[in-house]
């Protein structure tokens, strides 16, 4: 059960990183 929650946290981190990259690309352009 703990592994499942930990896995969800791992998935949430990359999503936020992708959002940051998208915002950076928009500002860069």
* pLDDT given for residue 12 in this prediction: 72
* pLDDT given for residue 10 in this prediction: 72
Q: Domain total for the chain?
A: 1
Half-sphere exposure of 21 (CA within 13 A, CB side): 6
* pTM of the complete model beyond 0.85: no
Alpha-carbon distance of 27 to 9, in angstroms, equals: 28
Domain span at 29: 1-29
Q: What is the DSSP string of 1-29?
A: -HHHHHHHHHHHHHHHHHHHHHHHHHHH-
* pLDDT given for residue 23 in this prediction: 92
């Amino acid at each position: 059960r703990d592994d499942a929650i930990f896995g969800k946290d791992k998935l949430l981190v990359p999503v936020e990183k992708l959002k940051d990259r998208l915002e950076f690309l928009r500002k860069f352009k």
